[in-house]
């Protein structure tokens, strides 16, 4: 049975990669199967959430869960002309909840955490001795952050040699960081590609 599913996975992988040469009916068939299976899996997972987090908890005495259940049912009232206004209550609640959670997450991860990460000691002592590498790393981190911030000070006179040097250094740092991010994305795609080749060569053709 395992060999059968290995051949299925390998043939589906080859069918998907056939799009590289030309779009064909085999690729479209596999694409539709993938989209349909993903939609079915998502529906099953969502029904599991409703059963485990809603109905089961309500049966166990957690009557507070009746509020999200009612709000969820309100979403289906948009198909009713008379009661469609109730669906807007549930939509407003979901939007407000999403905005509140996203604002907290963005403020914590992209503002507070990043700002606190730049509060580094300029002189690092380890076992009562000066640690040159750690101190240099902190200097590079602080100067890099300040240089990137200077680059975005468009209202400042850029002819000032200090601001001009800082702006240029910040631009170079951003170019390096963008290159690293692009390289990481390429490596992630290559790892996925190698994973598909591993399925075809190892489990399907038994080459390795």
Q: What is the pLDDT of residues 138-154, one digit of tens each?
A: 888 888 888 888 888 77
From residue 47, give the alpha-carbon distance in Å to each of 43, 51, 53, 85, 95: 6, 6, 10, 25, 22
| Annotated domain spans of the chain | 120-208
Distance (Å, rounded) from C-alpha 54 to C-alpha 42? 17
Q: Is 59 strand, coil or helix?
A: helix
The residue among 2 and 110 whose pLDDT is bigger is 110
Residues 155-178: what's their mean pLDDT?
Answer: 81
Residues 93-118: what's their mean pLDDT?
Answer: 84
User: Using N-to-C axis directions, what is the helix angle for 2-17 and 25-49, rounded to 10°?
Assistant: 120
Distance (Å, rounded) from C-alpha 74 to C-alpha 88? 8
Distance (Å, rounded) from C-alpha 129 to C-alpha 118? 23
Kindly give the residue spans of alpha helices, DSSP state H, lying in 76-156. Answer: 84-107, 113-117, 132-151
Q: What does the pLDDT read at residue 1? A: 62
Q: Is 128 strand, coil or helix?
A: coil
Q: Is 62 strand, coil or helix?
A: coil
Q: Give 36's pLDDT tier (boundaries 50, 70, 90).
A: very high
pTM: 0.57
- pLDDT value at 199 more than 80: no
Main-chain phi, psi angles of 165, to 5 degrees: -65, -40
Pair of tokens at residue 129? 């001795």
Query: Whole-number mean pLDDT of the chain?
Result: 84
């Amino acid at each position: 049975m395992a060999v059968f599913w290995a051949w299925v996975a390998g043939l589906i992988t080859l069918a998907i990669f056939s799009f590289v040469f030309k779009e064909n009916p085999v690729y479209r068939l596999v694409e539709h199967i993938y989209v349909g299976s993903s939609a079915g899996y998502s529906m099953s997972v969502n029904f599991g959430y409703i059963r485990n987090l809603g109905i089961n908890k309500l049966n166990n005495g957690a009557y507070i869960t009746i509020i999200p259940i009612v709000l969820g049912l309100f979403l289906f009232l948009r198909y009713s002309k008379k009661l469609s206004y109730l669906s807007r209550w549930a939509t407003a609640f979901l939007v407000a909840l999403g905005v509140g959670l996203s604002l907290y997450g963005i403020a914590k991860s992209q503002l507070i955490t990043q700002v606190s990460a730049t509060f580094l000691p300029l002189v690092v002592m380890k076992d009562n001795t000066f640690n040159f590498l750690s101190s240099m790393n902190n200097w590079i981190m602080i100067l890099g952050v300040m240089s990137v911030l200077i680059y975005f000070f468009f209202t400042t006179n850029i002819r000032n040699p200090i601001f001009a040097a800082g702006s240029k250094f910040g631009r170079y740092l951003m170019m390096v960081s963008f290159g690293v991010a692009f390289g990481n994305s390429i490596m992630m795609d290559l790892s996925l590609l190698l994973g598909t080749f591993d399925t075809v060569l190892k489990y399907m053709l038994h080459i390795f």
